[in-house]
Amino acid sequence: MKNLISQKAPNFTANAVLNGKDLIQDFTLERFQGKKYVLLFFYPKDFTFVCPTEIYAFQNKIKDFEIRNVQMIAVSTDSEQSHWAWLHTPKEEGGILGVTYPIVSDINKTISYDYGVLSGNFHYCNKNEKWKVSGELIAYRGLFIIDKLGIIRHILINDFPFGRNVNEAIRMIDAIQHHEKSGEVCPANWKKGEKTMKANREGIIDYLSY
């Protein structure tokens, strides 16, 4: 797996669905650079079980992200047509009707590969002149928080059975933004409004208020 923390987030250009209905081409990550923070999260498949619970959990907190100037983007290896169909299916029928943030199609698997979340294995067999694949080439539950300079500041990757905690993502965004503003660092379990830390000239840690 690539070490992407503190590195420039790999840009991508792909088809996507915006506002729950608009199919577009050439959706890029770099369109937000210098303007917004980005919460980029990957999920395995459309029309599954844990995935819609996460997607709705992020949608339910969309105002909390917006007031923090954060753009949410979801990605899976399904096609944009599959995303569109899922977005037009009611929740009670297993769909995600009502979700408004962009959902990107990584049909070529390149985005998942670049971010180190592509499951399965593949290699080229020279003897048979064929590609061999073991396991499904789909995305693990990866989550990346990217600052306005396009730098990855936080990474979380879960295996397929385990959904993510949206409130933890918000906490991490608060920590990143607080550090950018003050230069102070955030201790374990820190939440917005709690004391932070800063080393003084003697190397002693001072606890500070927000």
Which residues are the active-site residues?
51
In the 3-class helix/strand/coil scheme, how is 133-172 assigned residue by residue? EECCCCECEEEEEECCCCEEEEEEEECCCCCCCHHHHHHH
For 97-110, letters b (16+ CB in 10 Å) and e give eebebbbbbbbeee
Q: How far, in Å, CA of 56 to CA of 134, rounded? A: 31
Q: How far, in Å, CA of 181 to CA of 161, rounded? A: 37
Backbone angles phi, psi at 28, to 5 degrees: -125, 155
In this structure, are residues 102 and 5 in contact, taking their beta carbons and an 8 Å threshold? Answer: no
User: Residue 99, CB half-sphere, CA atoms under 13 Å: how many?
Assistant: 29
Residue 15 burial (10 A CB sphere; 0-12, 13-18, 19+): middle
